Amino acid sequence: MPVASTALVLFVTGCSTGLGLALVKVGVEKGYKVIACSRTPESVNVNGNASNLLKLKVDVTNTKSVESAFQEAIKVFGSVDIVVNNAGYGLVGEFESYTQEEMHKQMDVNFWGSVNVTKKALEIMRPKGFGRILQISSVAGYYPSPALSLYNASKFALEGFSQTVMRELDPSWNIFITVVEPGGMQTEWANKNMSWSKAHPAYTKSTPGGQWREFWKTYHGSEETDPYKAACLLLRLVNQSKPPAKFILGHDSLELIKKQHSDISKEMAQYENLSKQATRDDFDYSNVENLKAALGAN
């Protein structure tokens, strides 16, 4: 039988360490009903009321595992209101060094895992007219970092997917998807959770790829963001009546994204006239004005 409660139900993936674990801890502290999903749920070390916390063994790359997790969440807590897609890891190496298996696994966990969870979450949220989904992307989903090409790709894909789905939802369903773009965070992401390809011999330490591989070896420990503070902040966001489509987290992320905006704007201005020179001769330019008006209305 479902547990009778007016508390919101929080469903978090990737909870064994870092931000996911912090979200579970903050959620329990603040009285949420929390479903902590992990491949190793026994490692989710949280002091909380047993009736307030449900730990589940979940593989986000397996649709049957995801389906089972949501079924159990509804069985125990009656609903799912907030979903945080946090499961993921970084794969370091020069693009040419990656094996097919390494590349597919990176996309399966970071992108397809979030897709699988989001699909099931929407199925539950839509009929009841409420839902909040946080997609934990990265600054690397907007400003790509060398020696992380497939990680960057997985986050770019997640952002494009999430923004598109948000535009498909009927506003009356009261479902909001927020893409979160953290910079460096004091977690195990750049430590024991990092995966490394075998170095490609062409990318020596004198090449940019080789230099960035060396950078990531010493990055852990220098990260800016506190995961507990981040978790508190994110749970404040989802309680807004209209959460943002994107949320940039951290000074480093802000500065890198500003840089990307600046670079894109400069290059766009430089090539703007050239961009318009492939227009067909009989094109109706009122279509451009109509597009501007439609974009302005949105």
Q: 268 and 169, same structural domain?
A: no
Domain count, the chain: 2
Q: Is there a domain that residue 30 lies in?
A: yes
Q: Is there a domain that residue 4 lies in?
A: no
Taking only the tens place, the pLDDT of each residue in 209-237 is 999 899 889 888 888 889 999 999 999 99
Q: Is the pLDDT of residue 190 over 80?
A: no
CA distance 21 to 6: 23
Task: Tell me if residue 155 is catalytic.
Answer: yes
CA distance 148 to 91: 6
Q: What domain range is 262 assigned to?
A: 256-298
Catalytic one of 138, 143, 155, 253: 155
> What average pLDDT does the structure give for the chain?
93
Q: 265 and 163, same structural domain?
A: no
CA distance 250 to 139: 9
- Angle among Cα 126, 228, 2 to the nearest 5 degrees reads 40
User: Which residues make beta-bridge pairs with 92?
Assistant: 196
Taking only the tens place, the pLDDT of each residue in 116-158 is 999 999 999 999 999 999 999 999 999 999 999 999 999 999 9
C-alpha 211, offset from chain centre: 27
Residues 6+ apart with CB under 8 A from 161: 111, 114, 115, 118
Residues across the chain:
298
Give the model's pLDDT for residue 166: 97
C-alpha 45, offset from chain centre: 23
Q: 42 and 181, same structural domain?
A: yes
Task: Tell me if residue 151 is catalytic.
Answer: yes
Pull the structure tokens for residue 293: 């008006």
Q: Give the residue from 204, 89, 212 showing the smallest Cα distance to 151.
A: 89
Catalytic one of 151, 154, 197, 203: 151
Q: 282 and 209, same structural domain?
A: no
Q: Is the pLDDT of residue 3 over 60?
A: no
Q: 168 and 295, same structural domain?
A: no
Contact 36, 54 (CB under 8 A): yes
Contact 110, 216 (CB under 8 A): no
Taking only the tens place, the pLDDT of each residue in 59-82 is 999 999 999 999 999 999 999 999
Q: Is there a domain that residue 3 lies in?
A: no
Task: Tell me if residue 198 is catalytic.
Answer: no
